[in-house]
Structure 1
Amino acid sequence: MRSFAISALREPPFPVHRHPAVEAVAGQSAEWVRELGLIDSPTGLRRLAGANPAELAARACPEAPAGGLRLLTDLICWLFVMDDACDEDGLGASPTRLAPTVAELLAVLDRQGDPAAPAPTGGGPLGVALDDLCRRVRARQRPALLLRLVSELREYLLALLWEAANREHQRVPGVTEYVQMRRHTGGTRPSFTLTDLAYDQLPEAGRRADPALVALDVLAADLVCWCNDVFSYGKERTGTPDAHNLVTTIAGETGQDEAAALRAAATRFNEALAEYAEREAALASGADEPVRAVLTNRRNWIRATYDWSLAASRYA
C-alpha cells in the first residue's frame, strides 16, 4: 500500500526540514515512556520505536528549541500509546469498556496542569503522563495555549468513544461524518498547538480567530489525516478491518471497489493540497510574522506526515 500512496498522492510542494536534535530527543522521550510506565511490554516498546515519534516531531518542528521539540515528541508518544490501546489492545472495542478510562483522563484535563494538585490516581500511566504534559505546558505561562490544548485533547478523547460505538455495532460512518470526526480522532489539533507553543510566536486572539486562518487550519488537519489514511490502509485492512479510514468510508458510501475507493481518497487529498496552497498564498500576502509562523508550522506538518509515512514501520 505504501507503493500506491507514493504513486497516487501528490508530494507536498514544501521544503524538507529535520531538527538536528532528533536522536537525543528520541532517547529522552523513550525514557519518559519507560519511567512513567506508559508501555510495559517489549512488544509495545518495539511498536512505539517503529512508529518513530521523534522523527515525525523533528520534521514537523524543525527549528524550535530542543525543549519544545521534546514536549511535542512526548505528546505524540502519548497519542500513539492511547491509539494503540484502543485499536490494537481492545480498549476501544466498545464505549462501555473505554468510558471509565476516558472519564479518568477527562478528570486529569480538568485540573489543567495545576502544580499544586496531587498526582492523579485514576487513569493509570496514561493519566500520569497526561498530567505531566499539562503541567509542562502550564509552566510555559501561555494560558491561551494551555486552554486550547486541554480543549482539543478533550475533543480527542470524546471522539474515541464515537469510534468505539462504531466498532461495537460494526458501523461504517458516512464520508462527511468521518471527515468531521477524523479531525479529532487523529490527534492533529493538539499536535499543532504544541508546535505553535514550541516557537512561541502567537498571533493575537483576533487574528487567530480569523475565519480564513481557521479554515486553513482545518484543511491542514484534513491533509495530515487523509495522508495517514492512505498510507495506513493496507495495514488496517488486515486482521479485523477498522472502519475508521477515508478509503473504507468512501467504499461504504459509494459502493466502489477497493481500488476505486483508494483512487478517490488520493484524489481528495491531491485536490485539497492544491486548495491549501492557494489559500495559504492568499493569507501569506501581507501577513505579520506571527501569522507567517503559523503558516510555516502547518506546511511543515503536512510535509512531515508525508515524509515520515514513507519510512515509519507503524504503517508497513
Structure 2
Amino acid sequence: MPATASPDFARRAAEADDRAAAWCLERGLLPDRETEECFRLARFGALAAHTCPSADDAALAVLGTWLGWFFLLDDHLDGHLDSQAPEDGAGLLTAIGDALRTGRTDHGSPFVAAFLDLWSAPGPGSGPAEPFRPRFARHLDEYLAALVRENAERRSGRPPGEAEYIALRRITGAIRESLDGADHLAGCSLPDELYDHPWHQSLLDAASDVINWTNDLASWRKELDGGEVHNLVLVVARTRGLDHRAAEAEVARRIAVRAEEFEALAAVPPDPRLARRAVALRDWMTGFRAWLAETARYLTDPQQPALS
C-alpha cells in the first residue's frame, strides 16, 4: 500500500511540529522541560503531514496541534483515570464533552480551554463546527467508557481475550476522534447518512484495525516494560502460547489481511463521496506507518527503531 507523497514534506512537517509545540506551551499543556522534549520528539506535526498530504500549510499546522492535544490527553488519562478530582480522569472527559455541548470554559483543566480554542477557532479553510459536535461528543463518550473498562481489567488482573481486545482497541485507539478533528478542520465531514452507512463503518473498522495494530507492533516493548496487557502482540502471545517474535509475525500477518480487506471494500464505494473517503483513510493508514518509523514516542532503545 504505497504512501501518498506530501509536497515539500520536511519543511511542512517541521513547521507543523513547531506550531503544535508552541501552541501547547502557551496553553499550559507542557508543564516541564521533560514533557516538552518528549512532545517535540514525538513529531505530531509530521504525523499530520504524513496522514493528510494534500492539506495546505495552515490546515496542516492546526491538524498537528489537534493530534498533539489528543495524544497529550491520552497520556494524561493513563496516569489519572482513577482520580476522583473533577479536573482528572473521567471528570476531565466529561468536562470536555460538556464544553463541546455548551461552550462552558469554567473547568479548571487546561485541556478543556485548549480544546474549545481548537474547536471554535480551528483556522483557515475549516468548516462550521456545529454539525459535527454530536458525532464527536458521541465518540468521546464511547472513548471514556472504553478507557474505564480497560482500566478495570488492568486493576482486576484479568487480561482481555483476542476478540474482546480487538473490539475495545477500535475505541481506545481514538481513530474516529482523530478523524472527526481532521474532518472538522478541513470542513469536509460526511453527512450522517453517509457516515453511518454500513460500507463506511466496515471501511472505518478495517482502517482502524490496520492503524491500531501497527501501533501495537511499534509499542509492545515499551508497554511490556510498563506492565501493560492491552496490546495485540501481548494478547496474541498470551492466548496462543507464542513467544513475542512469533506473536509479532502473527500480528503483521493480520495487518496484511485487514489491509487487503480494506482495499476490497474501497474498490466498490456506494457513493462518490465515499470513494474520496477511502482515499483519505488510505492516506491515514500509510501515513501513520511512515510516522512510526520517525517518531521517538515508542522507543525503548534510541539505537533500535520501534517499527522495523
Flag whether TM exceeds 0.5 (same fold).
Answer: yes
> Which of 1 and 2 has higher RCO (CA within 8 Å, sep 6+)?
1
TM-score when scaled to structure 1?
Answer: 0.84
1:125 to 101, 110, 127: 110
Q: Are the aligned partners of 1:137 and 1:146 in contact in 2 as well (CA < 8 Å)?
A: no
CA distance in 1, matches of 2:293, 2:38: 17
Aligned to 1:58: 49
Find the counterpart in structure 2 of residue 38 from structure 1.
Answer: 29
Please give the residue correspondences for 1:289-308 in structure 2 after superposition, counting only pairs within 5 Å. 290-308=273-291
Which shows bigger deviation, 13-22 or 248-257?
13-22
Structural mapping, 1:249-260, within 5 Å: 249-260=235-246
Whether the 8 Å CA contact 2:20–2:61 is kept in 1: the answer is yes
Is 1:171–2:154 an aligned residue pair? no
Distance 2:228 2:241 in 1: 17
- CA deviation map 1:197-256 (0-9, x unaligned): 344344443233221121101111111101100011122222x32111011111222222
Gaps of 5+ in 1: 1-11
Query: For residue 192 of structure 2, what is the amino acid of its counterpart?
Result: A
Question: Considering only aligned residues, what root-mean-square deviation do their CA atoms show, in Å?
Answer: 2.5
Instruction: Give ranges in structure 2 of 5+ residues lacking alignment.
Output: 300-308
Secondary structure at 1:241's aligned position in 2? coil
Q: Distance in 2 between matches of 1:121 and 1:137?
A: 21
* Residue equivalent to 1:102: 90
Contact 1:226-1:265 at 8 Å conserved across structures: yes
2:268 counterpart of 1:282: yes
Q: Please state whether the residue corresponding to 1:311 is helix, strand or coil.
A: coil
**Counterpart position of 2:120:** 135
Q: In 2, Cα distance between the equivalents of 1:187 and 1:135?
A: 21
- State whether residues 248 and 261 of structure 1, in contact with CA within 8 Å, keep that contact through their aligned partners in structure 2: yes
Partner of 1:270: 256
- In structure 1, distance between residues paired with 2:73 and 2:50: 22
User: Which residue of structure 2 lines up, in the alignment, with residue 211 of structure 1?
Assistant: 198
Cα distance in structure 1, aligned partners of 2:205 and 2:186: 20
Q: Secondary structure at the match of 1:141?
A: coil
Question: Cα deviations across residues 93-138 of structure 1 (Å, max 9, x unaligned)?
Answer: x4768995322331231232655x4x2323x122222232333369
1:128 partner amino acid? A
1:245 aligns with 2:231: yes
In percent, how many aligned pairs have the same letter? 27
What's 1:17 paired with? 6
